[in-house]
Structure 1
Amino acid sequence: MKSLSPFTLIVTFVCLALVGLALVPMLPVKLNPSRTLPGFTVRFSMPGTSSRVVEMEATSKLESMLARIKGVKGMYSTSSNGYGSITVDLDKHADVDAVRFEASTIIRQTWSQLPSGVSYPYIDMKVPDANTARPFLSFTLNAPSTPILIQQYAEEHIKPRLAKLQGIYKIDLSGATPMEWRLEYDSEQLRTLGISISDIQRAIQLHYNKEFLGTHNMDTAGGKQWIRLVLIPDGVSGQFIPSDITVTASDGKIIRLDELVTVARMEEAPQSYYRINGLNSIYMSVTAVETANQLQLSNEVMREMEAIRLTLPPGYEVHTSYDATEYIREELNKIYFRTGLTVLILLVFVWIITLNLKYLLLIVTSLAINISVAVIFYYLFGLEMQLYSLAGITVSLNLVIDSTIVMTDHILHRRNLKAFMSVLAATLTTMGALVIIFFLDEKIRLNLQDFAAVVIINLAVSLFVALFFVPAMIDRIKLVKRQSVKRWVRSHIRIRRLTVYFTHFYQLLIRFLLRWRVAVCILLLLGFGLPVFLLPEKLEGEGKWIERYNKTLGSSTYKEKVKPVVDKALGGSLRLFVQKVYEGSYFSRNEEVVLYANANLPNGSTLEQMNTLVKRVETYLSGFKEIKQFHASVYNARRANLQIYFKKEYQHSGFPYTLKANLIGKVSELGGGSWDVYGLQDQGFSNDVRESAG
Structure 2
Amino acid sequence: MLSFRLQPSAGLASFTITSTWGSTSAIIVEGQLTSQLEAAINTLKGIKNISSVSSPGYSKIDIEIDKYTDPNQLRLEMSAVIRRLYPSLPVGVSYPSINLSTPDEEDEKPLLIYTLFGSHDSEILQEYVENYLKTGLALIAGIEKIIVYGGVGNEWQVIYQPETINRLSITPEDITQALKLFFHHQPIGHVIEYEQGENRRTEKKMSVKLALQSSMNIQWENIPVKKAGNRIIYLGEIARIERVKQEANSYFRVNGKNAINLVIYPEKGSNALKLATLIRGKIIQMKSVLPDAYVLETSYDSTEYVSNELSKIYKRTLLTFFILMVFVFLVSLSFRYVLLIVLSLFTNLSLSFIFYYLLGIEIHLYSLAGITVSLGLIIDNSIVMTDHLIYRKNLKVYTALLASTLTTMVSLIVVWFLPEELRLNLWDFALIIVVNLSVSLAVSLFYIPALLKMMPMNMGKQIKKRRRRGMIVWMNSYYAAFITFLLRYRTAAILVLVLAFGLPVFMLPNKIQSEGMWPNIYNRTLGSEWYTDHLKTHVNKYLGGSLRLFSYYVFENSYYTKAEETKLFVQASMPKGATIGQLNKVFVEMEKFVAQYDDQIQYYSKVHSPQYAEMTILFNDNTSDNIFPYILKSRLIARSIDLGGVNWNIYGVGKGFSINTGVNEMINFKVAMYGFNFDELEAQAKKLQAKLEMHPRVKKVNISGG
TM-score range, shorter chain: 0.7 to 0.9
Establish whether residue 89 from structure 1 lines up as the match of residue 64 from structure 2: yes
Query: Residue 479 of structure 2 corresponds to which residue in structure 1?
Result: 502
Does the C-alpha gap of structure 1 residues 225 and 486 become closer, same or farther in structure 2, counting only changes over 3 Å?
A: same
Answering whether residue 348 of structure 2 is matched by residue 370 of structure 1, we say yes
Alignment of 1:681 with 2:632, yes or no, is: no
In structure 1, distance between residues paired with 2:524 and 2:231: 93
> Match of 1:664?
637
Structure 1 counterpart of 2:569, from 582, 596, 600: 596
CA offsets 1:575-619 (integer angstroms, 9 cap, x no match): 666665698953223332222222233344333332222222222
Cα gap change, 1:548 to 1:529, in 2 (>3 Å): closer
TM-score norm. by structure 2 comes to 0.83
**Which one has more relative contact order, counting CA pairs under 8 Å at least 6 apart?**
1
Which ranges of structure 2 fall in alignment gaps of 5 or more residues? 659-664, 669-698
1:450 corresponds, among 422, 428, 451, to 428
Contact 1:676 1:688 in 2 (8 A): no
1:93-108 map, 5 Å: 93-104=68-79, 106-107=81-82
Q: Contact between 1:212 and 1:229, CA under 8 Å: does it hold in 2? A: no
Question: Aligned pair 1:493/2:505, yes or no?
Answer: no
Q: Which moved more, 1:551-560 or 1:659-668?
A: 551-560
Say if 1:263 and 1:590 are closer, same or farther in 2 by CA, change over 3 A. Answer: same
Cα deviation per residue 1:157-210 (whole Å; 9 max; x = unaligned)? 222322222222322211112333323344455556665545554554455256
For 1:156, the equivalent position in structure 2 comes to: 131
Moved more, 210-219 or 600-609: 210-219
3-state SS of 2:257 partner: coil
Query: Which residue does 1:11 correspond to in 2?
Result: none
Query: Which one is further off, 408-417 or 251-260?
Result: 251-260
Give unpaired runs (5+ residues) of structure 1.
1-25
Question: In the alignment, which residue of structure 2 is the partner of 1:343?
Answer: 321
- Name 1:302's counterpart in structure 2: 280
* Secondary structure at the counterpart of residue 648 of structure 1: coil
1:484-506: per-residue Cα shift (whole Å, max 9, x none)?
23213445320343245335535
- Counterpart for residue 435 of structure 1: 413
Distance 1:203 1:101 in 2: 42
Of residues 586, 594, 615 in structure 2, which corresponds to 1:621? 594
Partner Cα distance (2:230, 2:557) in 1? 70
**After superposition, what is the alpha-carbon deviation per residue over 1:67-101, rounded to whole angstroms, capped at 9, x for unaligned?**
34442211211122233322111212222333344
Distance 2:479 2:306 in 1: 45
The CA deviation at 1:651 is 2.4
Deviations 1:41-92 (A, max 9, x none): 2334444232223323433333334334442211211122233322111212
SS at match of 1:232: strand
Q: 2:578 aligns with which of 586, 605, 610?
A: 605
Q: Is the 8 A contact 2:374 2:437 kept in 1?
A: yes
Which amino acid in structure 1 is aligned with residue 138 of structure 2? A
1:459 Cα shift? 0.5
SS at match of 1:49: coil
Query: Residues 212 and 545 of structure 1: is their aligned pair in 2 closer, same or farther, counting only changes over 3 Å?
Result: farther
Give the aligned residue type for 1:427: T
Distance 2:576 2:518 in 1: 52
Moved more, 375-384 or 387-396: 375-384
- Aligned residue for 2:60, secondary structure, equals strand
Asked if residue 691 in structure 1 is aligned to residue 669 in structure 2, the reply is: no
Q: Which whole-Å CA distance do the structure 2 matches of 1:562 and 1:313 have between them? A: 78
Give 2:383's aligned residue.
Answer: 405
Over 3 Å counting, the alpha-carbon distance change for 1:486 and 1:374 in structure 2 is: same
Q: C-alpha displacement at 1:395, in angstroms? A: 0.8
C-alpha separation between the residues in 1 aligned to 2:90 and 2:188?
27
Sort the Cα spacing of 1:248 and 1:84 in 2 relative to 1 into closer, same or farther, 3 A: farther
Structure 1 match to 2:184: 208
Q: Is the 8 A contact 2:13 2:103 kept in 1?
A: no
What's the offset of the Cα at 1:468?
1.2
Counterpart CA distance in 2 for 1:212 and 1:52 is 49
> Using the alignment, how far apart are the partners of 1:617 and 1:31 within structure 2?
30
Do structure 1's residue 531 and structure 2's residue 514 form an aligned pair? no
Cα distance in 2 between the residues matched to 1:139 and 1:266: 28
Change (3 A) 1:496 1:572: closer
Change over 3 Å in CA distance of 1:335–1:624 after alignment to 2: same
**AA paired with 1:502?**
Y
Displacement of 1:339 in angstroms is: 0.5
1:635 aligns with 2:608: yes
Q: Which moved more, 1:234-243 or 1:119-128?
A: 234-243
- The answer on whether the counterparts of 1:588 and 1:681 sit within 8 Å (CA) in structure 2 is no
Maintained 8 Å contact 1:174/1:282: yes
- Secondary structure of 1:622's counterpart equals helix
Q: Give the aligned partner of residue 156 of structure 2.
A: 181
CA contact (8 A) 2:634 2:666 kept: no
Distance 1:145 1:491, change over 3 A: closer
Tell me if structure 2 keeps the 8 A contact 1:175–1:283: yes
The aligned amino acid for 1:72 is I
Output the CA distance in 1 between the equivalents of 2:474 and 2:495. 33
What amino acid does structure 2 have at the position aligned with 1:81?
A: P
Are 2:11 and 1:36 aligned? yes
| More moved, 287-296 vs 399-408 | 287-296
Aligned-partner residue type, residue 675 of structure 1: W
Instruction: Give how far 1:434 is off.
Output: 0.6
TM-score by length of 1: 0.84
1:272-321 deviation digits (Å, cap 9, x = unpaired): 22211111101111222332222211111100111222333442321111
Give a deviation string over 1:633-670, Cα, whole Å, max 9, x none: 22222332222222322323333333233333222233
Q: C-alpha displacement at 1:561, in angstroms?
A: 5.8
SS in 2 for 1:78: strand
* Residues 415, 321 of structure 1: alpha-carbon distance in 2 compared, 3 angstrom cutoff: same
Matched, 1:326 2:338: no
Shift of 1:370: 0.7
The answer on whether the counterparts of 1:34 and 1:132 sit within 8 Å (CA) in structure 2 is no
Equivalents in 2 of 1:57, 1:149: separation in Å?
49
TM-fit CA distance, 1:511: 6.9
Taking the TM superposition and a 5 Å limit, the aligned residue runs for 1:490-569 are: 490-502=467-479, 504-506=481-483, 508-509=485-486, 517=494, 520-521=497-498, 524-526=501-503, 530-532=506-508, 535=510, 565=538, 568=541
Q: Partners in 1 of 2:493 and 2:63 — Cα distance?
A: 58
Decide whether aligned partners of structure 1 residues 546 and 474 sit closer, same or farther in structure 2, where only a CA change above 3 A counts: closer
Report the RMSD for the aligned CA atoms in angstroms: 3.8
- What SS does the aligned partner of 1:133 have? coil
Q: What SS does structure 1 have at the residue aligned with 2:416?
A: helix
Partner of 2:393: 415
Corresponding residue of 2:622: 649
Aligned to 2:695: none
Q: How far does residue 453 in structure 1 lie from its aligned partner after superposition?
A: 0.9
Q: Which aligned pairs between 1:55-134 and structure 2 lie closer than 5 A?
A: 55-104=30-79, 106-107=81-82, 110-111=85-86, 113-115=88-90, 117-128=92-103, 133-134=108-109
SS in 1 for 2:299: strand
Is residue 467 of structure 1 aligned with residue 445 of structure 2?
yes
Aligned to 2:369: 391
What is the DSSP-based 3-state SS (H/G/I as helix, E as strand, rest coil) of the residue aligned with 2:622?
helix
Given that residues 499 and 544 in structure 2 are in contact (C-alpha distance below 8 angstroms), is that contact kept between their aligned partners in structure 1? Answer: no
Aligned 8 A contact 1:72 1:89 in 2 = yes
CA-CA distance at 1:412 after TM superposition: 2.0
Aligned to 1:218: 194
Q: Do the aligned partners of residues 656 and 308 (structure 1) sit closer, same or farther apart at CA in structure 2, a change above 3 Å counting? A: same
- Choose from 430, 434, 459 the match for 1:482: 459
Distance 2:141 2:8 in 1: 20
The one of 230, 235, 258 aligned to 2:207:
230
